[in-house]
Amino acid sequence: MTSDKADSDPHSPVLAAVGSALIPGLGQFFVGRWTRGWGILVAVAASAGLVSWYGEQPLWYVVPAIIWIWGVWDASTEVDGAPRPLLIPVIAVLAMFYGIGWQVTKIELSTLTKNIDRASAILGPMIRPDFVGPRQEFQQAFVTIEVPCSANPPPGERSDDGLSLVASAGCGSAGDELVVSGSSFWPGASAELWWEDTIGERQHLLSGGRIVVVEPDAQGTFSSTIIIPQMRSGTGQEANLDQPLPERFLVIQARPLGGWEFTENGMRVLNGIFETLSLALVATTLSLIAAIPLGFLAARNLMDRTQGGMAIYFVVRTVLNFVRSIEPLIIAIVFVVVVGLGPFAGMLAIMVHSVAALAKLYSEVVESVEPGPIEAVQATGASWSEVVRYGVVPQVIPAFTAFTLYRWDINVRSSIIIGFVGGGGIGVWLFQWIILADYRAVGAAFVAIALVVIVLDHASSRLRERII
Amino acid sequence: MLKVEHLTKVYPNGVVALDDVSFTVSEKEFLAIIGLSGSGKSTLLRCINRLVEPTSGKIEWYGKNIVGMNSGELRKIRRQIGMIFQQFNLVKRASVLTNVLSGRLGYVSPRISLPGIWPKEEKERAARALHRMGLDDKAKSRADTLSGGQQQRVGIARALMQEPKLILADEPVASLDPVLAHSILRHLEELNRDEGITIMCSLHFLDLVHRYANRVLALKDGRILFDGPPRDIDHARFKEIYGEEAEDVRATFVDAPSQ
């Protein structure tokens, strides 16, 4: 039977072609090209399955069809000798993956230009980072206004530290107009007008949607008409709008003192950057301490002397590979839950990831050391730990140092992002500012981060060059 | 002192490096091992201190079988056997002194060696070894700043620290020019003559064998082809050891052996 088949096969291209036309790959099975046959069958089935499952474009059915037809052609010709090159089916499959990939990615180039004005709303403030501002001093004064009026309203005037404010009435309802005037303010320095409710919530007074700013004249007096805003709303006790409560009209005036200083957000950026750098430094140092012994235990050339050693090697390798594959951001989410928000959680997360990453790099360094000196130290009768200490350590110190510096560099970058999940550092502020749409502060953070990364990148690469 | 019986080494890739090798070495011998590259010279030397694990056979060191010995006992044997290498095998980034001191690792306790705080007597011992090799002023230098000949002398000083009864020398002069080769071998000869240290030395050049060795072991394909005094290697033996084409090589590089 088998000899009959062997005799007939080389002369039956038609039979092979018919087989492949019925079931993709059957013709290839027929001539004993099993890998190729399975490949065609799987490729046709998988590509057809993919198109029908993701099926936005039935047009892609052309790909399994091409492979099927190519398989028929392949089966009908390859019985004569050399197999056909795989170029056509490979191109067809790649074209399908890229095409469907494009659809899955939902690429819509038009949106890039359609909403370009939104970008300027963000980029505008960002190019004016809220980092330093002119040095200023502040003074403020308020007068109590009762909202709404009771039988016995307050006087509507108040003097404090020489600053005096007079309102046209001591009470009113939301929406009422008040004429307010002040005296003894700093002449020529603009002042912002605020409203503060009875529990201390403040908001800018607005006129036509713009913040009201007044500028006292040369005598330090000003006068302005304001509308009492509706501060109380919503539910609960405060929702009782008929209850007369004391609220405040508030004037805050600033004047330059000359020179520059960090703004409030600027100080936050500085603090955040410092926290980020410290966090990365501590995490790198701690991970270094843990990674060095692990690096030696995960080095095959040191561990392959005994079976126990190989067992340790495989266990350590496996654990390291597993831990290394988890993003620090994910580890941080766990630690934030365990130890609470803050830099400690971020530090732990980065440390855990770094231990695995560094130990892997260290083990590769150890595996690439020259075997000669190790052999020489062994020959003196040294123990394992002495062989490591005298034969291996001097050889690996430069590369260890270089990799550690590189890791520190990486850790600073990832500790910036770790703040997004509450892991401390500049990222915490950055995340808040993005949510609050405070793009000037975001800009300040970006500038600070960029500076730190550039300086660090440069410094660490220079250091590494000098060591190796 | 050393008795090798039926020693066989088969590497995991199936290469038979040593095939039933037997010989004995007496004290104060200067034994040269010759043979083509791949004939098993390095493997033989490395089996003796078990840098290479023998597949089967026996290696007796003063009556104790080294094969199968546990690592504690092995270390006690290893420290009596110095070793020098073709590529010197110094730790390049460490100082000459540290390299020499590492020869003492078989004797000192880990409390001394691991922190690297060596007692005065050991440093003096190292200084004496360096003095003997003519390297007094090099103790503080980094090993890789030395020339090849100097590095090999550091290698000998390291072996001397072991107060060895036997020195295994694996092609100790193959990376050196002829003048330096003689200088290194004279040092070994001196140790052999004055200290009574037995030398087992693999060599490529027959003129060196004739000049220094008092016994020759010739290996071919892992088997001993010849064992006797150098003068007994005649033309026919030579061809047997090195193969037919070897004649040209000998004419160019090797003084014709006395026939």
Q: Which residue of B has its CA nearest to A369?
A: B91
Q: What is the pLDDT of residue A11?
A: 52
The three-class DSSP label of residue A432 is helix
Mind telling me how many Å the CA of B83 is from chain A's nearest CA?
A: 7
Min Cα distance B131 → chain A (Å) is 20
pLDDT of B182 higher than 50: yes
What pLDDT is attached to residue A103? 82
pLDDT for A259: 86
Instruction: Give residue-wise pLDDT tens across range B138-163.
Output: 999 999 999 999 999 999 999 999 99
Output the pLDDT for position A14.
81
Distance from CA of B232 to the nearest CA of A (A): 33
Tell me what pLDDT residue B184 has. 94
The overall average pLDDT reported for chain B is 90
Choose among B49, B90, B98: nearest Cβ to A379: B49
Whether residues A390 and B102 touch (CB distance < 8 A) is answered with yes
User: What percent of chain A clears pLDDT 70, i.e. is strictly above it?
Assistant: 94
**Beta partners for residue B33, in sequence order:** B202, B217
What pLDDT is recorded for position B215?
A: 95
Is B102 in contact with A381 (Cβ distance < 8 A)? no
Q: Of A156-160, A301-305, B246-250, which range is least confident?
A: B246-250
**CATH number of the domain at A265-467, out of 3.30.70.2190, 3.10.28.10, 1.10.3720.10, 1.10.10.10?**
1.10.3720.10
pLDDT at A1: 38
**Locate tokens 């090797």: which residue?**
B254
Give the residue on B whose Cα is nearest the Cα of A376: B89
Using CB atoms, pick whichever of B75, B81, B89 lies closest to residue A372: B89
pLDDT at A430 over 90: yes
Residues in B touching A372 (Cβ below 8 Å): 85, 87-89
Chain pair A-B, CB pairs under 8 angstroms: 88
Q: Where in chain A is CATH 1.10.3720.10?
A: 265-467
A193: pLDDT strictly greater than 70: yes
Listed in order, the ranges of chain A carrying CATH 2.60.40 are 132-261
- Chain A interface disruption, residue of B42, B70, B91, most A CBs within 10 A: B91
- Contacts with B117 from chain A: Cβ below 8 Å: none
Mean pLDDT across A346-366 = 95
| Residue reference for tokens 């000083």 | B157
Model confidence at B238: pLDDT above 90 = no
Q: With an 8 Å Cβ cutoff, are B105 and A386 in contact?
A: yes
Consecutive H or E run containing A417: helix A393-418
Among B98, B105, B125, pick the best mutation site for testing chain A contact (most A Cβ within 10 A): B105
What average pLDDT does the segment A331-341 reach? 93
**Is this complex's ipTM strictly greater than 0.95?**
no
From the CA of B179, how many Å to the nearest CA of chain A? Answer: 25
Secondary structure class of A378 (helix, strand, coil): helix
Average pLDDT over residues A292-311: 88
% of residues, chain B, pLDDT over 90: 78
Give me the residue from A379, A386, A394 closest to B93, CB to CB. A394
Indicate whether A8 pLDDT > 50. Answer: no
User: What is the DSSP code (8-state) at residue A115?
Assistant: T
Q: Which of A288, A314, A287 is nearest to A299 (CA)?
A: A314
Asked whether the beta carbons of A397 and A265 are under 8 A apart, the reply is: no
- Say what the pLDDT of residue A78 is: 64
Q: Do B83 and A395 touch (CB under 8 A)?
A: no
Q: Please give the structure tokens belonging to residue A358.
A: 């560094």
pLDDT at residue number A239? 58
| A349: Cβ contacts below 8 Å, ≥ 6 apart | A328, A329, A331, A332, A334, A335, A418, A423
Average of per-residue pLDDT across A57-84? 80
Q: What is the mean pLDDT of residues A48-68?
A: 83
pLDDT for res A181 = 92
How confident is the model at residue B60, as a pLDDT? 95
Q: Which residue has tokens 């180039």?
A: A109
**Scanning every residue of chain A, which has its alpha carbon at the shortest distance from the alpha carbon of B93?**
A394
> Please, what's the b/e burial string for A289-312 (b: 16 or more CB within 10 A of its CB; e: otherwise)?
ebbbebbbbbbeebbeeeeeeeee
pLDDT, tens digit, 9 for 90 and up, residues A103-122 = 888 888 888 888 888 888 88
Strands A245-262 and A132-147: antiparallel
Task: Give the range among A89-98, A311-320, A386-395 with minimum mean pLDDT.
Answer: A89-98
pLDDT of residue A431: 93
pLDDT at A369 over 70: yes
Which residues, in sequence order, are bridge partners of residue A179?
A225
CB-based contact B90 A382, cutoff 8 Å: no
**Of all helices (H) and strands (E), which one includes residue A349?**
helix A343-367
pLDDT band at B236 (very low <50, low <70, confident <90, very high): confident
Contact list in B for residue A390 (CB cut-off 8 A) is: 91, 94, 98, 102, 105, 113
Contact B26, B196 (CB under 8 A): no
Per-residue pLDDT, B207: 87
- For residue A235, pLDDT over 60 is answered with no
Residue A267: what pLDDT?
93
Q: Do A381 and B75 touch (CB under 8 A)?
A: yes
Q: What's the gap in Å between the CA of A363 and the closest CA on chain B?
A: 19
Closest CA relative to residue B45, chosen from B4, B6, B12, B80: B4
Mean pLDDT for the stretch of residues A250-272? 90
Q: What Rg do the C-alpha atoms of chain B give, in angstroms?
A: 19
For chain A, percent of residues with pLDDT exceeding 90 = 42
Q: Answer yes or no: is pLDDT of B252 > 70.
A: no
The verdict on domain A132-261 having CATH code 2.60.40 is: yes
Q: Round the average pLDDT of chain A to a whole number and report it.
A: 87
Q: Give the pLDDT mean for B44-69.
A: 93
Q: DSSP assignment, residue A391? A: I
Smallest Cβ distance to A380: which of B74, B92, B103? B103
Q: Is the pLDDT of residue A87 over 60?
A: yes
Which chain B residues are Cβ-neighbours of A380 within 8 angstroms?
A: 78-79, 82, 102-106, 158, 161-162
Flag if A375 and B51 touch (Cβ within 8 Å): yes
Structure tokens at A378: 């062994």
Q: Check CB contact under 8 Å for A390 and B92.
A: no
Residue B51 sits at the chain A interface (C-beta within 8 Å):
yes
**For residue A148, cis peptide bond before it (omega within 30 degrees of 0):** yes
Question: Are A396 and A374 a contacting pair, CB within 8 Å?
Answer: no
Q: Which of B74, B79, B91 sits opposite A394 (nearest CB)?
A: B91
Identify the CA nearest to A415 among candidates A265, A287, A262.
A287
| Number of residues written out for chain B | 259
Residues of A in CB contact (< 8 Å) with B are: 370, 372-373, 375-383, 385-386, 389-391, 394-395, 397-398
Q: What is the 3-state secondary structure (H, E, C) of chain B?
A: CEEEEEEEEECCCCCEEEEEEEEEECCCCEEEEECCCCCCHHHHHHHHCCCCCCCEEEEEECCEECCCCCHHHHHHHHCCEEEECCCCCCCCCCEHHHHHHHHHCCCCCHHHHCCCCCCHHHHHHHHHHHHHCCCHHHCCCEHHHCCHHHHHHHHHHHHHCCCCCEEEECCCCCCCCHHHHHHHHHHHHHHHHHHCCEEEEECCCHHHHHHHCCEEEEEECCEEEEEECHHHCCHHHHHHHHCCCHHHHHHHHCCCCCC
Whether residue B258 has pLDDT greater than 70: no
